[in-house]
Amino acid sequence: NVICSFVPQQIGEFKVKQVIEIIGPVADENLRSLSMKPFHYINLEFNSICKAYTKKVGVKINPGISPLISNPTRQFVIKDTENQEDLPPVAAMLRSTRTKLHHHQTDDVSEEDALIAFPNDRAASIRTIFTKMPRHDYTDPDYEYTDLEKLEKKMHRDYYADYIRNLRNARLQKEEQRSFTFRINNIPGGHILVMAVILPVKLELSCNEIVLRPQTFLLKTCFRGTVRLYNHLNRPAQFEWKPVRALKGIAFMIRPAKGIVDPYCSLECEVTWQPGVSSPEKGEFILQVSGGNTLTLKCTAHVGHTRVTFLEPRILFSNSSQGLTTWRKAILHNIGQNHAYFKVCDESLLPTINIVPSEGVIPFGGITILNISCTPTVAEKFDTRAKNVFNFSGTYVGNTEVVPFVIKNRGVTRAKVEFNLKDFPLFAMDFKGNAGEFKNTEVPYMYAIEVEESTSVECGIAFSPVE
């Protein structure tokens, strides 16, 4: 028989788990010898409650002379107080000024020559926290903690704090144990102790970076790839994908976005990219495992090379009425090996020209129609207008500085380029004697030159300051 005893040292409720080891012969690792080792464990749980013990003390009325031991009112005397040996270690007195609700510092130092405010004092002599007035604090030396009691109290507090801390560490770092018995030729051979280490749930990726390339001719599903999640543990793992937002937005998607991977199983997730000229070609996803690890998946989309041409390289509006809108069509043909994504650069367009759609997709081997509108506001001839900036710095008065530049005709027909310097009388064009130069003596501020197809002409703009 095993007898367990409990001797409380403070008031409260106690719960303790005691582990009992069963020792017996256990086979060694080489299975050649036996040794005395613990092969089974039994957990005993002890529960106890220690309550405070209050002894009733009789009082008698003091009609005359007050004895040495009495309360401050000198009216009641405790019987046999001088000879009493089993005094309680502490008495609970009202100490409103020491409450932690209004004061964040405690003081265990007792005041000398202090008295106790008993309940039979005058009501006017008691000041509580609700009157917002200070009151006297009395401490009876007979009920005050001694230095030894204060030390024991601190030791108890530190002991249980360490006990709780050790329990928590043991729970976080515990190991699952179980003993099995075995028989050889129907004869008990001993016990086998099986130990397992508890690990947090964890998922693994088949790859940390995935590159998407065109797979099919379907526009919405041509950029796709897969990544696999592996769960090598014996516990289900719950996960969720969270995209990392970029300045250009998010063009990648992954499905399923959340789910559960069963023990010793894997799950395939599909990654797709929404193609477009404005779609970012790089992105990231964060894989968060509930109660487990966190991983990062980087995604990249490779569009591939392509080639696009105009079926008609030149669009003619002929005679367009001033103030009215004229529509023409341009056809883009994709002659490359991949889908093409285009965008119209508005910076190079005249304010009277509008092209829709401004961006889109040209399928592999397909065509896309651009609708071009022209709404002229003035009567003029134009093919297109180019805007360039020429910087002249440090030109002296009376001198001429020439900034050279080159005109390139990348078209398939001859082009005529005109320069209108009506509002800039200090500037002039220098075509360096090219054969295609046009001169108009009636309009001296207008300059023109013809450039043959697929050729270039060296020119210059001259600046002659006079003041």
Question: Closest by alpha carbon to 188, among 309, 24, 366?
Answer: 24
Mean pLDDT of 81-107: 46
The answer to whether residue 328 scores a pLDDT higher than 70 is yes
pLDDT in tens, 347-386: 767 788 889 998 888 888 889 999 999 888 876 666 666 6
Buried b (16+ CB within 10 A) or exposed e, 429-449: bbbeeeebbeeeeeeeeebbb
Question: Closest by alpha carbon to 403, among 419, 395, 391, 387?
Answer: 391
Among 46-55, 169-178, 348-357, 387-396, the range of highest mean pLDDT: 348-357
pLDDT, residue 253, reads: 93
pLDDT, residue 436, reads: 73
Cα–Cα dist 56/308, whole Å: 105
Of residues 179 and 353, the one with the higher pLDDT is 353
pLDDT, residue 420, reads: 86
Give how far Cα 3 sits from Cα of 21, 41, 49, 260, Å.
16, 18, 19, 50
The answer to whether residue 210 scores a pLDDT higher than 90 is yes
Report the Cα 186 to chain-centroid distance in Å.
61
Tokens 């071009």 belong to residue = 372
Tokens 């910087």 belong to residue = 391
* Mode of pairing for the β-strands spanning 340-343 and 359-362: antiparallel
Mean pLDDT of 275-301: 92
Mean pLDDT of 61-81: 52
Mean pLDDT of 43-48: 86
Mean pLDDT of 145-171: 87
Of residues 257 and 193, the one with the higher pLDDT is 257
The answer to whether residue 247 scores a pLDDT higher than 60 is yes
pLDDT band at residue 93 under the 50/70/90 scheme: very low
Among 83-87, 176-180, 225-229, 459-463, the range of highest mean pLDDT: 225-229
Percentage of the chain lying above the pLDDT 70 cut? 76
The answer to whether residue 456 scores a pLDDT higher than 70 is yes
Cα–Cα dist 377/146, whole Å: 103
The answer to whether residue 390 scores a pLDDT higher than 90 is no
The answer to whether residue 99 scores a pLDDT higher than 60 is no
Mean pLDDT of 105-109: 47
Average pLDDT over all residues of the chain: 78
Residue-range domains of the chain with CATH = 57-87 (no CATH), 204-301 (2.60.40.10), 308-374 (2.60.40.10), 401-463 (no CATH)
Residue 211 token pair: 């590159």
Give how far Cα 39 sits from Cα of 35, 45, 268, Å.
11, 20, 44
pLDDT, residue 123, reads: 45
Collapsing DSSP to helix, strand or coil, 294 comes out as strand
pLDDT band at residue 103 under the 50/70/90 scheme: very low
pLDDT, residue 244, reads: 93
pLDDT, residue 252, reads: 93
Mean pLDDT of 33-48: 84
pLDDT band at residue 29 under the 50/70/90 scheme: confident
pLDDT, residue 121, reads: 46
Contacts 24+ apart (CB under 8 A), 258-263: 260/236, 261/203, 261/229, 261/230, 261/231, 261/236, 261/237, 262/231, 262/236, 263/231, 263/233, 263/234, 263/235, 263/236
pLDDT in tens, 397-429: 888 888 898 888 876 667 788 888 888 888 888
* Mode of pairing for the β-strands spanning 282-289 and 308-310: unpaired
pLDDT in tens, 438-453: 777 777 888 888 888 8
